[in-house]
Amino acid sequence: MSHTHCSARAQLGARPIHAVLLDLDGTLIDTLDEFELALGHMLCSLQLPPTTRATIARTIGKGSEHLVRSILAGALAQAGLPHDEQAVAQRFDEAMRLYFIGYDNAGHEHAKVYPGVREGLQALQALGLPMAVVTNKPMRLARPLLDATGLAGQIEFLYAGDSFARRKPDPYPLLQACERLGQAPQQVLMIGDSANDAAAARAAGCAIALLRYGFNHGEPIEQVAADAYFDSIAEIAAQLAAAPA
């Protein structure tokens, strides 16, 4: 992909923006159906009671290990079985194995690119802004998802939850992405849907735009401090493009 950066001027408020980082689940793609199918397979195989979509939506965003551990603990409790840290740890490896099998079996036909994403990414490209995805989802799930939805061609690179020892809300993956893009964090915009994204961006020194759709651990997104809130990535691109010359 070409690295012709900033052919047009882009600003969020008074801050110049030279590159964009994007979250994946709940920001680019609605993957709730995929999570539900994968976790359903895991729980059924373990002969544990099913979870709910609302519980899954509240738990998404901190990586697959956290998701599986939390859902497993809840299902053990619902079944009246020991669900302390040790009990969960004893079943965790098998649960993760079954979760990945369930995710692979689900395919990606259930993944839905959010409205405004494709045209928004095209508009950001037209502004000359290089883009990268920084997600807590493991690479073995994140890369095929971007490929299957046709979004991979619009980003420079992907950093996943297992790309580094630390993940969001730690700023480290964002700082590494800024460095790879050759941009100071202060001139990079993080687009996400959760408190995790906002905390990582704030600690890194990036601007943060939060989307009103998505997951955010089941909490209203406007309770999370950000530079701005939007209804779509297309709306973000339009605002950046409207910056005064």
End-to-end CA distance of the chain: 27
Helices 85-106 + 32-45 axis angle, to 10 = 120
Residues 83 and 161 in one domain: no
pLDDT at 244: 65
Q: Structurally, how many domains does the chain consist of?
A: 2
Active site residues: 23
The tens digit of pLDDT for each residue in 146-176 reads: 999 999 999 999 999 999 999 999 999 999 9
pTM score: 0.91
> Are residue 91 and residue 126 in the same domain, yes or no?
no
CA distance 126 to 197: 25
- How far is Cα 39 from Cα 72, in angstroms, rounded to an integer? 9
Q: Which regions in the chain score pLDDT beneath 50?
A: 1-7
- Token pair belonging to 68: 């599986």
**What pLDDT is recorded for position 62?**
87
**Contact indicator for 189, 211 with CB cutoff of 8 Å:** no
The answer to whether residue 70 sits within a structural domain is: yes
* CB 69 within 8 Å of CB 96: no
Domain membership of residue 5 (yes or no) is no
Out of 106, 127, 153, a domain closes at 106
Residue 35 has what pLDDT? 95
Residue written as tokens 């539900």?
Answer: 36
CATH number at residue 200: 3.40.50.1000
Range of the domain at 74: 32-106
Could you say which of 106, 121, 151 is where a domain stops? 106
User: Is 144 part of a structural domain of the chain?
Assistant: yes
